[in-house]
Amino acid sequence: MGPRLALMLKDAGLTAFVAAALGIFIVGFRTVDLGGGKGLGFDYHLVDLAVAVVVIFIGRLGLSMAANGLRWPAIVLGVAMIVAGASPMKLPSGFLHWFVALGGVLLVIRAIWPWANDAIGAVSRTPSGVALGKAGSKWFGWLLLAAAVLMPFSPFADQKTMDLGVLILTYVMLGWGLNIVVGLAGLLDLGYVAFYAVGAYAYALLSTQYGLGFWTVLPLAGMMAALFGIMLGFPVLRLRGDYLAIVTLGFGEIIRLVLLNWFDLTNGPAGIGSIPGPTLFGAVFAETPPPGKQTVSEMLGIAFNGNHRLIFLYYIILGLALITNLFTQRMRRLPVGRAWEALREDETACQALGINPTNTKLTAFAIGAMFAGFAGSFFAAKQRFISPESFVFIESAIILAIVVLGGMGSQIGVVLAAVLLIGLPEWFRDLGNYRMLAFGLAMVLIMVFKPRGLVSHREPSIRLHPAGSGGGG
């Protein structure tokens, strides 16, 4: 007990020391403009830093206690942190209260994790648990789908919720699209948002310049994005994984910079505005009809309600997302889909078996791009205004994070991850930049602790022997 505790204290001390060294300048000395041409001065935050370092010391101590089987002391430390964070005690900043309390919560979770894990394992091994698990994994997707379809009619479907629903579904669709590229074909694409941008600008330009409608442009935008995917993918797809990632990132940035600087076409940073929204059989969603058009409320003979447009948009994106999903599910059973997954597992073996890796990758790349193009033109129709600001690298990173967090290749995982990564932060909009900080840290933590994502189980697309007969898939 004695020497072990000493080791833990030493380890915690070292961690706290490193944290202090990391934070001393960046956190401790906040540079502020003194004004009046006097340059920069400091706003000292050394007390904040000291509190944070102490918390890190205690937290690290608690974590190593939990790891060494000393669960109760760890729980006590965690609870003490939660109490300290939630207490009215005066800490230098509101952030520190959150920091202390959340640290305590994490510590408690870590300490009781083995128990919870054992308990869940024990329950899921009982016959009824096994049956429940099977039924759950079979019906869970359908339940989610039913919930998504019925959402607009539920009592809590106010404008904010519907907006959020549309946003989440957009990311679900993008996640499913990228899942083809990253999850199935195993190609890390860091420039996915470029195809999204191509789709968005295709619709924005074709509708504002040539007066084409949403439903005409939608397939065109998809085709255009797929074409970009082929043009871009053809030369680069023979590169190995991480080079490919950087090249796609480069392409994504090139497209954004071109959009930003090609004033004649894209109106540069000012963006394109007054993009028409999607129509329902030629009728528009508006209170008063534009010349020569009919409004939806006139056509259907119902009273005008601003929410109708939102509900319509919601069903469009739900439909588009479901098409993406269905398409992917079907593709996985076709030879080319099988080839994608085989290629992800072992490229050399695939080549030996006569699969052309470049062409196979290219199909995945182009199809993924096509769905991003669809999503992009939906985005333009929904926002009615687009600018290069919406297509920065961080968007690609978010979509990638959804796919990775969901468990690469898992369709239901993407939905869960999109709800988690887009829905939760959107509810906590006030957190501002803390949101992105947490987002980055979450990406690291998932990779470290659960690199296979939330839904790590992946149903094999083919089993050579029936499940359970020993051969496996």
Partner 1 sequence: MAYFTQQLINAITLGAIYGLIAIGYTMVYGIIGMINFAHGEVFMIGAFISLIGFIICGSLGISSAPIAIVLVLLLAMCFSAVYGWAIERTAYRPLRGSFRLAPLISAIGVSIALQNYVQLAQGARPKPGGQVVSGGFNLFSADGFDVRVTWLQIIIVLVTVVLMAGFTWVIAKTSLGRQQRACEQDMKMAALLGVNVDRTISLTFVLGAALAAVAGMLFLMYYGVIDFFIGFLAGIKAFTAAVLGGIGSLPGAMLGGLLIGLIEVFWAGYFSSEYKDVAAFAILVLVLIFRPSGLLGKPEIEKV
Contact set with partner 1 (CB under 8 A): 18, 21-22, 24-27, 29-33, 39-42, 45, 188, 190, 235-236, 239-243, 245-247, 249-251, 253-254, 257-258, 260-261, 348, 393-394, 397, 400-401, 404, 433-434, 436-437, 439-444, 447-448, 451
If the CB atoms of residues 30 and 465 are measured against partner 1, the closer one turns out to be 30
Gyration radius of the chain's alpha carbons: 26
Q: Residue 429: what are its φ and ψ, rounded to 5°?
A: -55, -30
Q: How far is the CB of 379 from partner 1 (least distance, A)?
A: 22
Q: How far is the CB of 433 from partner 1 (least distance, A)?
A: 5
If the CB atoms of residues 120 and 231 are measured against partner 1, the closer one turns out to be 231
Strand partners, 452: none
Q: How far is the CB of 248 from partner 1 (least distance, A)?
A: 9
If the CB atoms of residues 257 and 270 are measured against partner 1, the closer one turns out to be 257
Q: How far is the CB of 28 from partner 1 (least distance, A)?
A: 9
If the CB atoms of residues 275 and 408 are measured against partner 1, the closer one turns out to be 408
Say how many Å lie between the first and final Cα of the chain, rounded: 47
If the CB atoms of residues 310 and 397 are measured against partner 1, the closer one turns out to be 397
Which residues, in sequence order, are CB contacts of 275 under 8 Å at separation 6+?
Answer: 203, 204, 207, 208, 380, 381, 383, 384, 385, 386
Q: How far is the CB of 208 from partner 1 (least distance, A)?
A: 24
Q: How far is the CB of 163 from partner 1 (least distance, A)?
A: 24
Q: Which of 316, 314, 317, 312 is nearest to 300 (CA)?
A: 312
Contact 107, 99 (CB under 8 A): no
**CA dihedral for 148, 153, 155, 159, sign (positive or negative):** positive
Q: How far is the CB of 205 from partner 1 (least distance, A)?
A: 20
If the CB atoms of residues 302 and 437 are measured against partner 1, the closer one turns out to be 437
If the CB atoms of residues 227 and 443 are measured against partner 1, the closer one turns out to be 443
If the CB atoms of residues 333 and 450 are measured against partner 1, the closer one turns out to be 450
Which residues, in sequence order, are CB contacts of 348 under 8 Å at separation 6+?
Answer: none
Q: How far is the CB of 22 from partner 1 (least distance, A)?
A: 6
Long-range contact pairs involving 221-225 (C-beta distance under 8 Å, separation at least 24): 221/373, 221/374, 221/376, 221/377, 222/370, 222/371, 222/373, 222/374, 222/377, 223/370, 223/373, 224/198, 224/199, 224/373, 225/195, 225/196, 225/198, 225/199, 225/369, 225/370, 225/372, 225/373, 225/374, 225/376
Q: How far is the CB of 217 from partner 1 (least distance, A)?
A: 27
**CA dihedral for 344, 346, 351, 355, sign (positive or negative):** negative
Q: How far is the CB of 277 from partner 1 (least distance, A)?
A: 32
Say how far apart CA 7 and CA 407 lie, in whole Å. Answer: 36
Which residues, in sequence order, are CB contacts of 312 under 8 Å at separation 6+?
Answer: 278, 280, 285, 296
Residue type (1 letter), 390: S
If the CB atoms of residues 223 and 443 are measured against partner 1, the closer one turns out to be 443
Q: How far is the CB of 412 from partner 1 (least distance, A)?
A: 20
E-strand stretches of 218-318: 283-284, 294-295
Say how far apart CA 123 and CA 151 lie, in whole Å. Answer: 32
If the CB atoms of residues 240 and 429 are measured against partner 1, the closer one turns out to be 240
Say how far apart CA 279 and CA 348 lie, in whole Å. Answer: 49
If the CB atoms of residues 158 and 242 are measured against partner 1, the closer one turns out to be 242
How many helices (H) does the chain have, and how many strands (E)? Answer: 19, 4
Residue type (1 letter), 227: L
